[in-house]
A = this chain, B = another copy of it.
Amino acid sequence: MDITVIGGTGEEGFGLTLRLGKAGQHVIIGSRSAEKGATVAADAVERLGGQGTIEGTTNEEAADRGDVIFVTVPFAGQADIYRAIKDHVAAGKIVVDCTSPLATAVGGRAWQVVRPWHGSAVEQAKALLVPGVKMVAAFHTISGEQLQDLDRPMDSDVFVCGTDKEAKATVGELIDLIPNLRWVDAGDLTQARIAETMTALLISVNRNYKIHDAGFRVTGRESWGRPGA
Contact = CB atoms under 8 A, between A and B. Distances in A.
Interface residues of A, number: 40
A185 B194 CA distance: 19
A contact face: mostly helix, strand, loop, or mixed: mixed
Interface in A102-123: 111-113, 115
Nearest to A191: B204
Given A187-B111, A198-B198, A205 B217 contact: no
Copies of this chain assembled into the complex: 2
27 contacts: A111-B191, A112-B190, A185-B205, A185-B208, A185-B209, A186-B201, A187-B204, A187-B205, A187-B207, A191-B200, A191-B204, A193-B197, A194-B197, A194-B201, A195-B201, A198-B198, A205-B220, A206-B220, A208-B227, A209-B220, A210-B227, A211-B221, A215-B218, A216-B216, A216-B217, A216-B219, A217-B219
